[in-house]
Structure 1
């Protein structure tokens, strides 16, 4: 006897796609603005990129925990999660920084991964706490 597959999720409508696109635009612009406000000199450790990725990971963990088990608006969840925070925190920025400055590759990528996972875990823990 074969197992029956779970019901397929409802297809994504234009509202979800639009929310992701709008969130993606906003996240990309916010990241760019922070890069302008806190530029990283060539050859220096990319603290701005590290802080952006850690902060975004924390927020995504927090949102995930707050929305766990709820049926909030799909458009809002998609726009803020994969849209806004997905474009705000990008592994491509980590990769680029590591390639531009090869001496930082191992410590920077390692620190980025460790800090990103830790920040997401901390966000989940904080998000699971309910307001009194």
Structure 2
């Protein structure tokens, strides 16, 4: 019961922090136009950081579940946003801007996967399974 409460609290606190960081990014970068830069940056940066943290910290079996959930689903899950990407692309589609919708989706998916992979590789460098 305590472990579950710690996990819920970690996701909540991570979510508050991640959402606040995302709002700051939305205020600092353009969210409209042909490419919603804040959505792209949040999703690619969040993918890279999650890959890095997973490779360095979260892939270790001795790490507590509350840490995994708080950093993954909480902090980075609230920072990145599939729903914002879907709304941005959907807005382009409704306006008949197929090229912008395709660019928005394609860039986010391709760059997000590349960033996550790069983060995993970088986070795993120098790691041995027996070290902490």
Q: Same fold (TM over 0.5)?
A: yes
Instruction: State which structure, 1 or 2, has the greater radius of gyration over its C-alpha atoms.
Output: 1
- Partners of 2:11 and 2:60 lie apart in 1 by 21
Where structure 1 has 5 or more consecutive residues not aligned to the other structure, the ranges are: 1-9
1:56 matches 2:46: yes
Matched, 1:123 2:114: no
How high is the TM-score relative to the length of structure 1?
A: 0.83
- 1:107 aligned partner: 103
For residues 20-39 of structure 1, give each alpha carbon's deviation from its aligned partner in whole angstroms, at most 9, with x where no partner exists: 01111111111011101123
Give 1:11 deviation, angstroms: 9.5
Higher mean Cα deviation, 69-78 or 17-26? 69-78
User: 1:12: how far off?
Assistant: 5.5
Counterpart contact for 1:43–1:101, Cα < 8 Å? no
Where has structure 1 moved over 4 Å in runs of 4 or more? none
The runs of 5 or more residues in structure 2 that have no matched partner are 128-132
CA distance in structure 2 between the partners assigned to 1:69 and 1:28 by the alignment: 26
Structure 2 CA distance, aligned partners of 1:76 and 1:64? 11
Q: CA RMSD in A?
A: 1.9
Alpha-carbon separation, structure 2, partners of 1:79 and 1:49? 21
Distance apart, 1:119 and its partner CA: 0.4
Give the number of the structure whose residues are more often helix, by fraction. 2
In the alignment of these two chains, the number of paired residues is 121
